[in-house]
């Protein structure tokens, strides 16, 4: 099991479940990892991706302020495993004493916080294979970039609802 650095490729809406999906793309592998998330979490990630400031602090702003106030930093975020159709993640926080604290977290929160703190995101290489097998078995979101790109082209902007930034 090795970790691959990834970037957030974007957000999409799975029309079959009406659920937002965050798309992670490893930097060194031509695959993507779709992770289904909640609408509020998608909103938090979208705000980080666009760089728009909210009028009032959101949860990720608050967490950043707390982390900064304690003179800690986020070293990295890892999307580690998939159990019973639930993805798991870890946030690695370096304290002011230079000790590393490993925090269990949801991938969506981890990704939004990593974007906010400009921390690297990593995915476990085995998730790319598991996700591909599951995608083929369940006819859900594909993991190869070309198939995903084709599916996203078919989505109308109206399908996302009345969201504004």
Domain spans of the chain, in order of start = 3-157
**Does 165 have pLDDT greater than 60?**
no
Report which of residues 165 and 103 the model is more confident about: 103
Q: Which helix (H) or strand (E) holds 62?
A: helix 59-69
pLDDT digits (tens, 9 = 90+) for 78-137: 999 999 989 999 999 999 889 999 999 999 999 999 999 999 999 999 998 754 444 444
Thinking of the domain 3-157, which architecture would CATH place it in? Roll (3.10)
pLDDT at residue 10, as a whole number: 92
pTM recorded for the entire structure: 0.77
pLDDT digits (tens, 9 = 90+) for 35-57: 999 998 999 899 999 988 888 88
């Amino acid at each position: 099991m090795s970790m691959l650095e990834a970037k957030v490729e974007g957000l999409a809406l799975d029309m079959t479940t009406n659920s937002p999906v965050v798309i992670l793309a490893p930097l060194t592998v031509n695959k993507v990892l779709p992770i289904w998330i909640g609408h509020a979490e998608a909103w938090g990630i979208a705000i980080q991706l666009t760089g728009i400031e909210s009028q009032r602090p959101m949860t990720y702003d608050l967490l950043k302020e707390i982390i900064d106030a304690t003179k800690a930093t986020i070293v990295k975020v890892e999307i580690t495993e998939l159990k019973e159709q639930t993805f798991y993640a870890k946030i690695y926080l370096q304290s002011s004493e230079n000790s590393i604290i490993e925090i269990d977290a949801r991938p969506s929160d981890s990704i939004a916080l990593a974007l906010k703190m400009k921390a690297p995101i990593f995915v476990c290489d085995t998730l790319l294979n598991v996700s591909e097998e599951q995608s083929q078995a369940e006819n859900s979101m594909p993991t190869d970039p070309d198939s995903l790109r084709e599916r996203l082209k078919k989505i109308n902007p109206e399908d996302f609802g009345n969201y504004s930034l």
